[in-house]
Structure 1
Amino acid sequence: MTLRAFALLAAMGLTSSIEAAVPLEVLPARTDINWIGISTPSADVIWLSGSSSTIGRSVDGGASWDYFQPASADLEFRDIEATSASEAYALSIGKGGASRIYHTGDGGRNWQLHYRAGSNQFLNCMAMSETGEAWVYGDSVDSLWSMVRGADGRNWLTARNVVDSKPLPGEGGLAASGSCIRYKNNVWVIGTANATTARLLIKRDFGIRFKAIDSPLPAGPSAGIASVWPFSQRHALLAGGDLNNSEARPRLVRYEDGEFTPLSEPPLAGALYSLTVLPDGAILVSNPDGAALLPAANEAWLRLSEENIWNSACVAGHCYLAGKSGYVAKFSWPAAATD
């Protein structure tokens, strides 16, 4: 179905049927795991991370899966960044040394602990560039930023003096989907939470420090920016909200040339957890109330699912959704160009 056909259906009010809008294929992943992190280095290769220290990998588009447990079952892997079918980095969260980075170079058969955070350090999300540079964003500690940088994917060091201003009291992140930091288009972007203002932190790949910019997204405890998507140093999308107030707005905002513009609200209740932009400009968001897609040429949202979905990823016209109780699904978006 073409994008014009989707827009026509929306205008006629015929997209209320979830299945009729964009058919989803539910994949046979383990149902005893809450899947939170997802990474798709290619259309057929999918990596998942989640509860019970479990990692999942498929090399056939989700038809079959292999499962791995890099550490003791009490860890929760909120983020995974894969570079291929063989190599991936997994981030677990928590204090007391539970925030860790594990690496595999042999498709998950063996995992090495690359970084273990201090007892008072809580890491939220991780992103990697094509060159292997990585940044991990964590909650501030003792009025200092608490991040981790890996220059080459092998050596990881704590970074504190990396923002042009000090953190606000309590400033940290939302580890809902592992996407509060992202690298794209030679730009690193971070979304903050839990403080009096939700801020956008942005840096070019050759820059020394992140620039902190106040945003209009809901702020306060358990509120802020959960997911980011950079287009350039002056242009990004931000998604989030307030986990304690489902009516808090705005939840989806465009930042461009110093201005913030709220976008049309998706048909999902509560704070948004994940944000994915397809190559044609369509916007995909998800949270425990489901998933929704906004076609690039149309202001009418398509409701895709009512499942509890924490994360999404798209590559080469194939999109994958991951969430609670083992839910994993995929769909094809006809308007998406091949990456």
Structure 2
Amino acid sequence: MKRILVLLGSVFFMGIAAAQKVQVLVSDKKVSMRGLSVVSDKIVWVSGSSGTVGKSIDGGTTWTWMTVKGYEKIDFRDIEAFDANTAVIMGITDPAYILKTTDGGTTWNLVYENKTKGMFLDAMYFWNEQSGIVIGDPLNDKMFIARTFDGGKTWSAIPDDKLPAVDKGEACFASSGTNITALKLSEAVFVTGGMRSRLFIRDNKIELPIIQGTETTGANSIAVKNSGKKRTIIVVGGDFNTKDSMVKNCCITNDDGKTFTTPAVAPHGYRSCVEFLNKSNWLSCGLNGVDYSTDNGKTWNWISKESFHVCKKAKKGKAVFFAGNGKIGKLVMNN
């Protein structure tokens, strides 16, 4: 009987894995893409190194590529788009920049610049077309945070006395633009990594059961599922120097960090991004592939060995896209 149950379980999980696959749409770009914004099933924007921005208005079949004039050496590691014409991009450092376009990328306006020594922006998040937040590595042992309330036209840094303090060697990874997200309406939550890895909710700094203690370890991404009165938060990360390790690379909380569980079957390596899709379905990706969960992160199935930095679901639609080193992919659901 035990052998039969094991065989049935194997068939079941093989069926889950076979239900999803990753289709590579672009594989020949000589840039690293970590910024991804999926507006709808048709409209997708990406951003990356060498001042590169890409846009598709036909669901990824064809792409328009642009190099932002005057910013050819900038690494745009995050992007937030609102339609086919409007997008905001984040340049991480030397100095840190935020730019906005309202004409589909033909022109870009500089809306924020910070030349402070040590400034390094990590990620952006927008609750809607007006309200957004950007987070950066610590300055004087406090995280950098700025807000916008006019769709990214202007940005204001949070006063120093209101910023969360962190430990030495604790920071955020600019790996996928997803270490900060909405906890609920107008409230953000973020995760740190490095020498210490924590979940920051309001004034609470919560230790994460994620591998940590070196510059290459810790949490990289957080996603939130709000379902009625119940909320599920999943955090992924690991050690990007050991991309195949499944040790302490994922944790789950259903009570805002009071308690955590870890998966029975973890994602199959270091993961730089996690995304809630629908119902009990979640997605994560990293240097050695893509994992899919149908049970709120309890078990993860390795559905592809294609390397990606970031995955995102359409804000208005069902399509799911990936971006990574030189390539873009799309999640395909088999019947």
Deviations 1:70-93 (A, max 9, x none): 242211111111111111111121
**Corresponding residue number in structure 1 for 2:100:** 103
Per-residue deviation, 1:105: 1.1
The aligned amino acid for 1:58 is S
Per-residue deviation, 1:17: 11
Contact 1:252-1:265 at 8 Å conserved across structures: no
The answer to whether the aligner puts 1:56 opposite 2:54 as a matched pair is yes
Once the two structures are overlaid, the 10-residue window that deviates more, 147-156 or 227-236, is: 227-236
What is the aligned counterpart of 2:109 among 92, 109, 112? 112
**Corresponding residue number in structure 1 for 2:262:** 262
* Mapping for residues 1-339 of structure 1, pairs under 5 Å: 11-12=10-11, 15=14, 20-28=18-26, 30-70=28-68, 71-94=70-93, 96-97=94-95, 99-117=96-114, 118-152=116-150, 153-159=152-158, 160-163=160-163, 166-183=165-182, 185-186=184-185, 187-195=187-195, 197-203=196-202, 210-220=203-213, 221-231=215-225, 235-246=232-243, 247=245, 249-257=247-255, 258-269=258-269, 271-296=270-295, 301-315=300-314, 316-324=317-325, 326-333=326-333
Per-residue deviation, 1:42: 0.7
Contact 2:282-2:297 at 8 Å conserved across structures: no
The aligned amino acid for 2:191 is G
Contact 2:172-2:193 at 8 Å conserved across structures: yes
The aligned amino acid for 2:221 is S
Q: How many residues align?
A: 315
Per-residue deviation, 1:132: 1.6
Per-residue deviation, 1:234: 6.2
Whole-angstrom CA distance in 2 between matches of 1:10 and 1:41: 37
Whole-angstrom CA distance in 2 between matches of 1:173 and 1:298: 23
- Give the unaligned 5+ runs of structure 2: 1-6
- Alignment RMSD (CA, Å): 2.7
Per-residue deviation, 1:334: 7.0
Whole-angstrom CA distance in 2 between matches of 1:248 and 1:125: 25
Per-residue deviation, 1:226: 0.6
Contact 2:92-2:120 at 8 Å conserved across structures: yes
Deviations 1:155-213 (A, max 9, x none): 212223334x5211122111111111112532411111123x2111124xxxxxx5322
Whole-angstrom CA distance in 1 between matches of 2:45 and 2:9: 33
Q: 1:301 to 1:188 in 2, by over 3 A?
A: same
Whole-angstrom CA distance in 2 between matches of 1:41 and 1:219: 34
Per-residue deviation, 1:321: 1.4
Deviations 1:311-330 (A, max 9, x none): 11112332111111x22111
3-state SS of the aligned residue for 1:161? helix
The aligned amino acid for 1:189 is V
Q: 1:327 to 1:9 in 2, by over 3 A?
A: farther
Per-residue deviation, 1:111: 0.6
The aligned amino acid for 2:321 is Y
Q: Once the two structures are aligned, what percentage of the paired residues are identical?
A: 26
Whole-angstrom CA distance in 2 between matches of 1:238 and 1:167: 19
Whole-angstrom CA distance in 2 between matches of 1:222 and 1:47: 28
Contact 1:29-1:65 at 8 Å conserved across structures: no
Per-residue deviation, 1:285: 0.6
Per-residue deviation, 1:147: 1.6
Per-residue deviation, 1:290: 0.9
The aligned amino acid for 1:162 is K
- Give the unaligned 5+ runs of structure 1: 1-7, 204-209
Per-residue deviation, 1:268: 2.4
Contact 2:263-2:298 at 8 Å conserved across structures: no
Q: 1:21 to 1:231 in 2, by over 3 A?
A: closer
Q: 1:13 to 1:52 in 2, by over 3 A?
A: same
The aligned amino acid for 1:238 is V
